[in-house]
Amino acid sequence: MAEVVTRNKKLLDWVNEVKELCTPKEVHWCDGSEAEKALLIERMLETKTLKKLNPQKRPDSYWAGSDPRDVARVEDRTFICSERESDAGPSNNWREPSEMRETLKSLFRGSMAGRTMYVVPFSMGPIGSKFSLIGIEITDSAYVAVSMGIMARMGQEVLGVLGEDGEFVPALHSVGAPLAEGQTDVPWPCNPDNRYIVHFPETREIWSYGSGYGGNALLGKKCLALRIASVVARDEGWLAEHMLILKLTSPQGVVKYVAGAFPSACGKTNLAMVVPTLPGWSVETVGDDICWMRFGEDGQLWAVNPEAGFFGVAPGTSEKTNPNALHTLGKETIFTNTALTSDGDIWWEGLSDEPPAGLIDWKGNPWTKDSAGPASHPNARFTVSVTNGPSIAPEWEDPRGVPISAILFGGRRASLVPLVTEARDWEHGVFLGSVLASETTAAADGKVGNLRRDPFAMLPFCGYNMADYFGHWLKIGAGADQSKLPKIFLVNWFRRSEQGKFLWPGYGDNARVLEWVAKRVDGSVGYQENALGRVPEPGGINTDGLSITDEALEELVRVDGELLSDEVASIREHYSQFGEKLPEALAKQLSILAEAASKS
Ligand code: SAT
Ligand code: MN
């Protein structure tokens, strides 16, 4: 492995400081090479953190089983430590920064004893692009170092770009499980009783303690590319969003780029990789989770995917729901908390109708259909490079990004919300985003069928006061050439009939909605107006080859007056948490809706 060097004084000083605080047994600067990845994997095979999968079935792929207490992001242990509490806002946990620093320092003191401290330089966005943000994650987890190498551009090249005086976001991570002299390690070290996922937005720092899982530990993703980046974006006049980016091509070869925000369990990754049922149409993926948008010199909003990998939910992924994802996972993938088959492959609920015989569940125990609980954890994940996927758009790493024509906000709503609704203008679109809501499913915490407001799908990811964030969106629109702004749409694939049946087939047929969106962008199809916005006219959605009744189509765009009144009351309650900070434009949008509800 090459000797890694940097002359960045701030970085060298910080690494020394952390080394003194955390007292690791050694320091390893990650160069991002294949040889290094092989070495770290070797170490993880030794500690049983990883199991190698059957290379005949799934070449260069590994399975990890986490500590059962460390299986997901921990929102109640996630903190925004701004100087003023009001800058964190009602949707974030806040702690006074200097107090939190003291707490963290005492936790990190000696926390890496007996472990290797990895210094992981990474770039969110293409290396060297002026729009990218550089982070340095210091971690005592080889699993995190290897995963960061998949999820971001990682290694020596990043240090080259950083140079002697480049800026970076310091991101310190420890699993919080120091090893005493001679103590053997466990496969998944963590400290579930002492977890802290902490952000200091003013000084742009991240500190994460006690968890080795996903967004808690891979600090480039939600912590940097969303929570910290949202603050940077506010200060610099751009948007850091929890959105997919897809490339839609019509049979005539006309390309439109679409961004979309969806709360969890709404099929965001599936949509980013969707295979259209409409002949001649294609969808390619630019990103499946995070989208940074800036105005180009042409006045349009241009989007980049700052990530380099997919960290997706495995259960439910199948030939039917997401064939592109399945093909992406054919090799070079790390699976975490899926079940294992007797022939050394992986399995999860939904992969096949019948579970194969001889399964080992995600906790490592033999599993049959009679066992309590699922074979695979509902939040089991795959970690894989985006370049593995058949659906990746060739321009996915163009440093300029791609010009966005439409923004979708989607939720899971059994009633009220139409299949697709176009916002009347940007301000109305921001209103729709600010009240975005989804019904919780069995896979998520909370009661099934409960409505959770998740504005812009950013509730757990906005690094500052959500009301100020709404204001920032309004400001972005107000300062722009209106004719060049993306059109904003609210979509809902999950509307049900009174008998409880899904009215819309979903999956590949969602491309029919994308077609309507593209036509609305061009102005080549009309609309009808209702209380929520602009919906398709009868015959507006292309249903060629689809067996769906006219009544179902009508029902799919109908807005029920009584339900709308309930919705207005629920939005009022949602807005009340923001008090005086709620932008006036949104209060005005709500009164327009209330007025329409009272008439319908
Ligand atoms: O664990 S992550 O935050 O990376 C994924 C998610 O919860 O959406
Ligand atoms: Mn996400």
Ligand of minimum distance to the alpha carbon of 215: 1
Does position 446 have pLDDT exceeding 50, yes or no?
A: no
Q: How far is the CA of 383 from the centre of ligand 1 (A)?
A: 11
Q: pLDDT tens digits, residue range 172-199?
A: 999 999 999 999 999 999 999 999 999 9
What per-residue confidence (pLDDT) applies to 2? 54
What per-residue confidence (pLDDT) applies to 448? 55
Residue 378 beta carbon below 6 angstroms from any ligand 1 atom: no
Residue 268 beta carbon below 6 angstroms from any ligand 1 atom: no
What per-residue confidence (pLDDT) applies to 5? 84
> What is the homologous superfamily of the domain 309-388 according to CATH?
Phosphoenolpyruvate Carboxykinase, domain 2 (2.170.8.10)
- Assign domain 241-307+396-559 to a CATH class: alpha beta
Residues 33-42, mean pLDDT to the nearest whole number: 98
Residue positions annotated with a catalytic role: 266
What per-residue confidence (pLDDT) applies to 440? 82
Q: Write out the residues surrounding ion ligand 2, Cβ under 5 A.
A: 289
- Residue 153 three-state SS: strand
Domain boundary assignment for the chain: 9-48+73-236, 241-307+396-559, 309-388
Return d(Cα 269, Cα 266) in angstroms, integer: 9
Q: What is the mean pLDDT of the chain?
A: 96
Q: How far is the CA of 187 from the centre of ligand 1 (A)?
A: 21
Does position 444 have pLDDT exceeding 80, yes or no?
A: no
Tell me whether domains 9-48+73-236 and 309-388 share a fold.
no
**Which carries the bigger pLDDT value, residue 319 or residue 444?**
319
Ligand of minimum distance to the alpha carbon of 457: 2
Question: Ligand 1 pocket check: which of 66, 73, 243, 288 to mutate, most ligand atoms within 8 Å of Cβ?
Answer: 73
Does position 4 have pLDDT exceeding 70, yes or no?
A: no
Residue with tokens 């991570």: 173
Return d(Cα 63, Cα 65) in angstroms, integer: 7
Residue 242 beta carbon below 6 angstroms from any ligand 1 atom: no
What per-residue confidence (pLDDT) applies to 3? 65
Does position 265 have pLDDT exceeding 90, yes or no?
A: no
Q: pLDDT tens digits, residue range 266-318?
A: 999 999 999 999 999 999 999 999 999 999 999 999 999 999 999 999 999 99
**What are the CA-CA distances from residue 432 to residues 219, 300, 331, 528, 595 (Å)?**
30, 21, 40, 18, 16
Q: pLDDT tens digits, residue range 561-593?
A: 999 999 999 999 999 999 999 999 999 999 999
Residue with tokens 């509490």: 85
Does position 356 have pLDDT exceeding 80, yes or no?
A: yes
Q: In which band, very low, low, confident or very high, does the pLDDT at 442 lie, cut at 50, 70 and 90? A: low
Q: Residue whose CA is closest, atom 2 of ligand 1? A: 215
Ligand of minimum distance to the alpha carbon of 378: 1
Is the pTM higher than 0.85?
Answer: yes
What per-residue confidence (pLDDT) applies to 548? 96
In the chain, the percentage of residues whose pLDDT exceeds 70 is: 98
Q: Residue whose CA is closest, atom 3 of ligand 1? A: 215
What per-residue confidence (pLDDT) applies to 130? 86
Q: pLDDT tens digits, residue range 59-75?
A: 999 999 999 999 999 99
Which H or E element spans position 574? helix 561-576
Which CATH number applies to 9-48+73-236?
A: 3.40.449.10
Q: pLDDT tens digits, residue range 452-484?
A: 999 999 999 999 999 999 999 999 999 999 999
Q: How far is the CA of 73 from the centre of ligand 1 (A)?
A: 6
Q: In which band, very low, low, confident or very high, does the pLDDT at 449 lie, cut at 50, 70 and 90? A: low
Return d(Cα 593, Cα 591) in angstroms, integer: 5
What per-residue confidence (pLDDT) applies to 207? 99
Residues 393-413, mean pLDDT to the nearest whole number: 97
Distance from first CA to last CA of the chain, Å, rounded?
70
3-state secondary structure 35-71: HHHHHHHHHHHHCCCEEECCCCCCCCCEEECCCCCCC
What per-residue confidence (pLDDT) applies to 14? 98
Q: Which atom of ligand 1 is nearest to the CA of 218?
A: 4
What per-residue confidence (pLDDT) applies to 443? 46
Residue 222 beta carbon below 6 angstroms from any ligand 1 atom: yes
Q: How far is the CA of 215 from the centre of ligand 1 (A)?
A: 5
Residue 309 beta carbon below 6 angstroms from any ligand 1 atom: no
Q: How far is the CA of 217 from the centre of ligand 1 (A)?
A: 10
* CA nearest to 161, candidates 122, 205, 219, 119: 122
